[in-house]
A and B are shown apart, each in its own frame.
Chain A
Amino acid sequence: MEKDWLDHGITILVVILIFTVQMLITTFLVLFERKFVAWMQVRIGPNRAGPWGLFQTVADALKLMVKEIFVPRGADRTIYMLAPFLTVFPAFMAFAILPIGPSFEFVHGDKTHVVAIQGANLNVGILWLLAMSSVAVYGVMLAGWASGSKYSLLGSVRASAQVISYEAALSLSILPVLLWTGTLDLQEIVAAQSGWNWYAFGLLLIPFVSFFISGMAETNRLPFDLVEAESELVAGFHTEYGGARFMFFFLAEYINIMTISAVAVTLFLGGWNGPWVPVQADPAGWQVALGVLYFFLKTFVLLFLFIWIRATLPRMRYDQLMSFGWKILIPVNLVFLMVLAGLVVMQEVGAWPAGFFR
């Protein structure tokens, strides 16, 4: 179907909406995390800026904007200035490909238009996400290297080793889903999980858990935040950053957490699927809204899990981190993938009936 100006206009509108929602959720995620960690530690948390401290993040952002921007003497000027962009840009881009709600149709004139609640329906789908997370490593690495400070350099060297190690585990735990559905298209992956066939409820529970753990390491969250490790590295790779540039690193971290949760929801928890929202050609308006609501509800559950784990677990030691990634996650995922491939092939060949396991 040829796309006309109306379709393009809708796409632009949807992307602007996604961007706004992304910013809003990130803003309140920061506050939510601070409040929640405070409650878990029997503190009150931010309570001055606005009712219940609702505007705390906005106030923080404003404060960071009016802080002095300077480049340290030992720094490599160009790269030092460029690194925050390299971190925050892919963070924004990664979220654009996720299907947030069911597609619906409407008729305008004599033509039927399909509205997908998704920034862009790429046929490479999940590969785009991996590409963006790979680019984000450069931001962290270059930020530390260009700062000209010991703490930054050590933090960034640790960061790159950690992030690439867990990226291997992350990519390996996405593979079983692709193997199962036989497509990279995220819309199709969500449609394949309609009803209660969420992948996390079957054999694919193992890659789901592994995806979540490597996602935590990939976004440098506790218990894997050795990149920042205040007690030993001051602030890790962004020690020398302040003002608006620090804000970009901070923002990127929280956007990444949200993206990882949303991807986990899309791949393993059925995306926007849920009761009363069937996969069909033309859903009603309230079903679309409900689908979007399900998507964000599931994402919030995972985000809560992120914060809960952060408040509960102590930081790992670096050698524990590396051996956990390389000696447990990667081999387990590799072996699980081959076992699953064996099961699927046996089913294809006809060793047992289809739907024998899930």
Chain B
Amino acid sequence: MGDYLGIVVMAVLALSFVGVSLGVSALLAPKRPTPEKLDAYECGIVSDQESVERFPVQFYLVAMIFIAFDVEIIFLYPWAVRMRALELFGFFEMALFVVVLLIAYAYILREGVLDWAPKRTLDRETLMQGFRVEADRAKAALSEQDRGRKSEAA
């Protein structure tokens, strides 16, 4: 065990702290559960829905990208420690590895995986153009109606 003795002692201390405070709490705390108390918190109103089971897919994507980066970091650690001994060979090997990762990173960026804000697909000019088209169409429809009414009157 040797070096890990301190870790074990710390673990015992942490566990006993947690155990003691839970034990004390179990002894001192009241226990009066009511149906309303056991409901999920909903700002005071009675909840009529189970907790959400769907959330944005981007969270999954981040988890996947993280794995790629984390594996890379795992490789970087031993290399960083021994880098002086590995000299130029090690440096170029790792540079190649990082460049490959950066290419993947650029692809991720281009695909918009890391864009969390709502996409702004329309700029102001296009938007205004759309409004103008809509306005023209509405105007045309109105004058059509007018013409119809006039012919009726006639």
Residues of A within 8 A of B (CB): 3, 8, 11-12, 14-16, 18-19, 23, 64-74, 85, 88-89, 92-93, 96-97, 118-123, 127, 147-154, 157, 160-161, 164-165, 167-168, 171-172, 175-176, 178-179, 182-184, 234, 239-240, 243-244, 247-248, 318-319, 322-323, 326-327, 330-331, 334, 337-338, 341-342, 344-345, 348-349
User: Which residues does chain A contribute within 8 Å of B10, judged by CB atoms?
Assistant: 15, 18-19, 92-93, 96, 119-120
B76 at interface by CB-CB < 8 Å = yes
1/0 per position for B112-129, CB-CB distance to A under 8 A? 001111000000000000
A168 near B70 (CB under 8 angstroms)?
A: yes
CA distance A188 to B119 in the complex (A): 49
Q: Could you say which of B26, B62, B91 contacts A69, with CB atoms under 8 Å apart?
A: B26
19 pairs across A/B with beta carbons < 8 Å? A69-B25, A69-B26, A88-B14, A92-B14, A121-B6, A122-B3, A147-B51, A161-B59, A164-B66, A164-B70, A167-B66, A239-B41, A240-B41, A248-B18, A326-B65, A331-B102, A338-B98, A341-B94, A345-B87
Contacts A16-B9, A67-B29, A160-B63 known; list 19 others, CB within 8 Å.
A11-B5, A11-B9, A15-B9, A69-B29, A70-B38, A85-B18, A96-B6, A97-B7, A120-B6, A120-B10, A150-B49, A161-B62, A164-B66, A167-B70, A168-B69, A184-B77, A244-B29, A323-B115, A344-B84
User: Which residues does chain A contribute within 8 Å of B114, judged by CB atoms?
Assistant: 322-323, 326-327
CA distance A228 to B105 in the complex (A): 30
A330 near B69 (CB under 8 angstroms)?
A: yes
CA distance A69 to B24 in the complex (A): 12
User: Which residues does chain A contribute within 8 Å of B117, judged by CB atoms?
Assistant: 319, 323
CA distance A78 to B67 in the complex (A): 28
CA distance A160 to B63 in the complex (A): 9
CA distance A72 to B116 in the complex (A): 32
1/0 per position for B35-55, CB-CB distance to A under 8 A? 101111111000001111001
Q: Could you say which of B2, B30, B52 contacts A154, with CB atoms under 8 Å apart?
A: B52
- Residues A178 and B81 in contact in the complex (CB < 8 Å), given A96-B7, A122-B4, A168-B73: yes
Closest A residue by C-beta to B60: A161
A344 near B40 (CB under 8 angstroms)?
A: no
Q: In the complex, what's the smallest C-beta–C-beta distance from A158 to chain B, in angstroms?
A: 8
B95 at interface by CB-CB < 8 Å = yes
A147 near B40 (CB under 8 angstroms)?
A: yes
Q: Could you say which of B25, B43, B50 contacts A243, with CB atoms under 8 Å apart?
A: B25
9 nearest A-B residue pairs (beta carbon): A120-B6, A319-B116, A149-B40, A92-B14, A244-B25, A119-B6, A319-B117, A179-B80, A15-B9
Interface size class of B (residues with CB under 8 A): 35 or more
- Residues A153 and B55 in contact in the complex (CB < 8 Å), given A119-B7, A120-B5: yes
CA distance A332 to B70 in the complex (A): 16
Closest B residue by C-beta to A234: B41
B32 near A68 (CB under 8 angstroms)?
A: yes
User: Which residues does chain A contribute within 8 Å of B41, judged by CB atoms?
Assistant: 149, 151, 234, 239-240
A172 near B73 (CB under 8 angstroms)?
A: yes
User: Which residues does chain A contribute within 8 Å of B40, judged by CB atoms?
Assistant: 72-74, 147-150, 152, 240
Q: Is the interface of B mostly helix, strand, loop or mixed?
A: helix
B11 at interface by CB-CB < 8 Å = yes
A120 near B81 (CB under 8 angstroms)?
A: no
B140 at interface by CB-CB < 8 Å = no
Q: In the complex, what's the smallest C-beta–C-beta distance from A74 to chain B, in angstroms?
A: 5
User: Which residues does chain B contribute within 8 Å of A123, judged by CB atoms?
Assistant: 3
Q: In the complex, what's the smallest C-beta–C-beta distance from B122 to chain A, in angstroms?
A: 19
B52 near A244 (CB under 8 angstroms)?
A: no
B25 near A66 (CB under 8 angstroms)?
A: yes
B103 at interface by CB-CB < 8 Å = no
A72 near B7 (CB under 8 angstroms)?
A: no
- Residues A344 and B83 in contact in the complex (CB < 8 Å), given A70-B37, A72-B39, A92-B13: yes
User: Which residues does chain B contribute within 8 Å of A182, judged by CB atoms?
Assistant: 81-84
A89 near B14 (CB under 8 angstroms)?
A: yes
B31 at interface by CB-CB < 8 Å = yes
B28 near A65 (CB under 8 angstroms)?
A: yes
Q: In the complex, what's the smallest C-beta–C-beta distance from B116 to chain A, in angstroms?
A: 3
Closest A residue by C-beta to B37: A70
Closest B residue by C-beta to A322: B116
A152 near B51 (CB under 8 angstroms)?
A: yes
User: Which residues does chain B contribute within 8 Å of A167, judged by CB atoms?
Assistant: 66, 70
B13 near A16 (CB under 8 angstroms)?
A: yes
- Residues A338 and B95 in contact in the complex (CB < 8 Å), given A68-B32, A165-B66, A183-B81: yes
